[in-house]
Amino acid sequence: MKELIRNYKSRKKKELILVIFQFTLIMLHFLNLIIFSSKSLFVSNIYLDSVGFFLILIGIIGLIKSFKDLRKNISPFPTPKKNGYLVTIGLYKFISHPMYYSTVLISLGNLFYHLTYFNFFLTTSLVIIFSLKIKIEENYLKKKYKNYQAYKKNLIF
């Protein structure tokens, strides 16, 4: 029993660390737009700026739609809420983690718009954090929802 409690606490600490890193990276994106400047990867042009703007716009729309679809199920942690249910409507009908992917789209858009080493680091780090969170969350969802595997088979991404 003690080991079970210790493993539970260890998992929760890891999840908390992932969430802290996630929000830190997102805040650094915002601060980067306002305060920081770093060396450019290469010279930007109107096409890259346009792609960046388009990705940011699509990401923001995806985030808003994901928030609406999740309703009361929303949580920064990969653990599903106790009284939650499997969301299979809206964007979740096609993509299993649209909130994470939308955030990555915004980050990629920011990278295309501001081609700096710092933005490259932020985007790469965010992808790594979300990959880890998705892996943890997938395990929880498989255990909690018996129909999760069937749901996953019908997804595009």
Longest dimension (CA), the chain: 61
SS3 content of the chain, % helix, strand, coil (to 5): 75, 0, 25
SS3 string, 14-66, reads HHHHHHHHHHHHHHHHHHHHHCCCCCECCCCCHHHHHHHHHHHHHHHHHHHHH
pTM, two decimal places: 0.84
Query: In sequence order, what are the residues at sequence separation of 6 or more whose Cβ sits closer than 8 angstroms to the Cβ of residue 56?
Result: 105, 106, 109, 110, 113
Dist CA 26 CA 43 (whole Å): 24
How many other CB atoms are found less than 10 A from the CB of residue 54? 14
**Residues 128, 17 contacting (CB under 8 angstroms):** no
Q: For every one of its 157 residues, what pLDDT tens digit does the chain have, with 9 covering 90 and above?
A: 455 445 556 678 888 898 999 999 988 887 776 555 666 666 667 888 889 999 999 999 999 999 999 989 999 999 998 899 999 999 999 999 999 999 999 999 988 888 888 889 999 999 999 999 999 999 999 999 999 999 999 898 7
Nearest CA-CA partner of 59 in 98, 87, 21, 14: 98
